[in-house]
Amino acid sequence: MNDLRAVAPLDPGALRLAPKVLLHDHLDGGLRPATVLDLAHEVGYGDLPADDAESLARWFRESADSGSLVRYLETFTHTVAVMQTAAALARVARECAEDLADDGVVYAEVRFAPEQHLTAGLSLDEVVEAVLDGFAEGVAAAADAGRTIVMRCLVTAMRHAARSREIAELAVRFRHRGVVGFDIAGAEAGYPPSRHLDAFEYMRANNAPFTIHAGEAFGLPSIHEAISFCGTDRLGHGVRVIDDISLPAGSDLAAHTFAGAELGDVANYVRDKRIPLELCPSSNVQTGAVASIADHPFNVLARLRFRVTVNTDNRLMSDTSMSKEFITLHDQFGYGWADFERFTVNAMKSAFVHFDERLALIDDVIKPGYAVLIG
């Protein structure tokens, strides 16, 4: 019989069609540049560093390219400033759902810190409600455009502040309305995850999952605390787990196998327990967590069979998307569709929605989607 099946070329068009799962994306790091301008105009915010969309997009990308997490985080002052009303939050959330769906993301957990959106008088609950309303509108608009996406939310507490227990309670209060977990973010050095133990204990006592930004700007001790003392379900970044892996001298980071690699106790625990790594390649280069994409341990971790997932972190600051992160990894490490299917299934298995929902997306959406591309 004639076999007409063929592997689809790995180009931007096909990548946009590939089903993708996004676990680590910040709502306040993913605004459209034009929306930042519109909202600033509406609320009378006069401190934006540029006044046209193209220059503003460039400013975010270049300023975030600082090699320092602390300087990278300073750019959020402008996005958070224009996200203080229910209407603004809902608009940003709606556009986020539409943009992700347009890029072929079929399931997303988008996070933000409700405590940063209270300056115009909203309550924590009102902030979350506005975002969830916006997601629902975006999902409906995407469906009208022929795209199906499931949008869920993670609420983040800022690690330098002292509201984590309250935010964990907020996560549990909204657990049946679209909030599927809790996170801590912000500057890592000086703010270890164990400062927020009571929040993590509250989540665990309620059988509710959480992730922790750890092992990005700070190394292994932060990962160790997050898994051993806090009991995190996933690691936000976790990229510095590589510090606990020794490779034979002269190893090529783009190799297919890493025979002879030796794992320390922390790295072994992360791999043994299948703790998902929410890796964000472009963001990691910008914040200086790694020197370049070529130096990124993504491939080492993937080949050593850690549960790696691909993420955007902040689409505005990194001028990125899931498709762009996939292309970057393809160009650097030569990955093909089967690899991207594995990373996507990894991510879906690691999602915070219930098991039956994860399975349905894997069996009904992800596998059939890649079967078409692989041919």
Ligand X SMILES: O=c1[nH]cnc2c1ncn2[C@H]1C[C@H](O)[C@@H](CO)O1
Alpha carbon distance 229, 232 (integer Å): 9
Closest separation between CB of residue 26 and ligand X, Å? 4
Select from 232, 311, 314, 346 the one that contacts ligand X (CB under 6 A).
314
Q: Is 73 in the site for ligand X (CB under 6 A)?
A: yes
Task: Give, as ranges, the residues between 1 and 40 that touch ligand X (CB under 6 A).
Answer: 26, 28-29
Cβ nearer to ligand X, comparing 112 with 340 = 112
Task: Give, as ranges, the residues between 154 and 183 that touch ligand X (CB under 6 A).
Answer: 156
Q: Is 128 in the site for ligand X (CB under 6 A)?
A: no
CB 160, CB 189: distance < 8 Å: no
Q: Is 81 in the site for ligand X (CB under 6 A)?
A: no
Q: Is 290 in the site for ligand X (CB under 6 A)?
A: no
Q: Is 283 in the site for ligand X (CB under 6 A)?
A: yes
Residues ≥6 apart with Cβ < 8 Å to 252: none
Residues ≥6 apart with Cβ < 8 Å to 143: none
Site string for Zn ion, 277-316 (x = CB under 5 A): ------------------------------------x---
Q: What's the token pair of residue 296?
A: 């990124």
β pairing state of 245-246 and 262-263: antiparallel
Closest CA to 76 of 141, 10, 158, 138: 158
User: What is the Cα 136 distance to its own chain's centre?
Assistant: 20
Alpha carbon distance 237, 229 (integer Å): 18
216 in active site: yes
Q: Is 261 exposed, middle or buried (0-12, 13-18, 19+ CB in 10 A)?
A: middle
Site string for Zn ion, 309-348 (x = CB under 5 A): ----x-----------------------------------
List 95, 129, 216, 325, catalytic entry: 216
Closest separation between CB of residue 236 and ligand X, Å? 7
Helices then strands, counting H and E runs in the chain, come out as 18, 10
- Summarize the annotated binding site as residue ranges: 24, 26, 28, 186, 213, 313
Applying CB under 6 A, the residues found at the interface with ligand X are 26, 28-29, 69, 73, 76, 80, 111-113, 116, 156, 185-186, 213, 216, 283, 313-314
Q: Which residues are catalytic, by number? A: 216
